[in-house]
Amino acid sequence: MRIACKNTFTTATVLALSACGGSGGGGGAGGPGDLFFGSTTATASGNGLQFANFGGSAADLDGQTVNIRLPRTIVRDAPGETEKGVFDGVITFDDGQTLVVDGETLVFTGGTATRADGSEVRINTFSTGFGFEPQVFRVLADGERGGRAGEIEFAHFIIGAETVPDAIPELTGSVSYTGNVFGLLSVRGIADASEVSGTINLTATFDGGQVSGDAALSSGGATFDFELTPVGITGNGFVGDLNVTACSTGPCTSDSQIGGVFFGRTAGTIGGILDLDLTLEDPDGVVDDINLVGNAGFVAGETR
């Protein structure tokens, strides 16, 4: 969407919901896909790493090849040109990283890969405060470096030593987890993004095999509160809808999703990914609805 009384703006400008009027919006790919990226059998982990219960650790990934699942968002400077979806990929750690997603191979050296058209893609990790496992990874191509001006592309994924699925049913009681969220959020049709940060709180009720929780996120000067109603644990993971309960911008709706996995020998950590899709509404009808799309990763540690 373009704000009629402005020539240039950032995502933060749009999130402020200026009442000067606007036009455009809509189109693009559909809602989030299945974010389940855990394991359902003790025979082999979904990511290909050794389970934590069997001595696995993500502290040293050198020489490892890891299967990943990641929500990816591509936003271009045109209404209807936004793409989003969930993809499977493989990343190899050996003198850098080699990432293969959706038929494209990216070879990173010093955190940067160069595509055939000269555009650059960067990869980095975030400190979670819970040691080396799991880790949140971000892949970002902002279009400013090379031949893809007017486009931004980003994704987040999680790597760690998973809890063996057979250990989950043996856990009892309710366990609380809290942690940090790292992500990016864009306005559909605008090749720009604002950082997403905030906290997530989850409760695993192992006796009932369910996970519930809430998240408080901020981006571009706006705040968004979400809740996860109880969802079932499958193997060592879960997936569910993130329902928005409040937006500082006013009325809003959500088509967002969360996927999480238990990590560590006794499920002491939950790592996960968020596929974010929000619609901000103007109750006065002055400004068209604004669609925000993005994704994020999080790590939440046991608090008991």
What is the β-pairing status of strands 210-219 and 237-247? unpaired
Higher pLDDT, 283 or 100: 100
How far apart (Å, rounded) are the C-alpha atoms in residues 85 and 105? Answer: 18
ω into residue 251 within 30 of 0, thus cis? no
48 and 65 in contact (C-beta within 8 Å)? yes
% of the chain beyond a pLDDT of 70: 82
Q: What's the mean pLDDT in 261-272?
A: 94
Measured at the CA of 27, the angle between CA 21 and CA 32, to 5 degrees, comes to 115
Higher pLDDT, 196 or 78: 196
Q: Output the CA torsion 145→147→150→156 (10° steps).
A: -60
Higher pLDDT, 238 or 79: 238
pLDDT of residue 56: 66
Helix (H, G, I), strand (E, B) or coil at 294: strand
pLDDT tens readout for residues 145-165: 555 668 899 999 999 999 999
pLDDT of residue 7: 27
pLDDT of residue 3: 24
pLDDT of residue 19: 33
pLDDT tens readout for residues 166-190: 999 999 999 999 999 999 999 999 9
142: closest CA among 152, 128, 133? 152
pLDDT tens readout for residues 206-236: 999 999 999 999 999 999 999 999 999 999 9
Give the number of other Cβ atoms within 10 Å of residue 207's Cβ: 11
Kindly tell me if the per-residue pLDDT of 18 is higher than 80: no
Higher pLDDT, 59 or 150: 150
Domains of the chain: 2-19+31-302 (2.40.160.90)
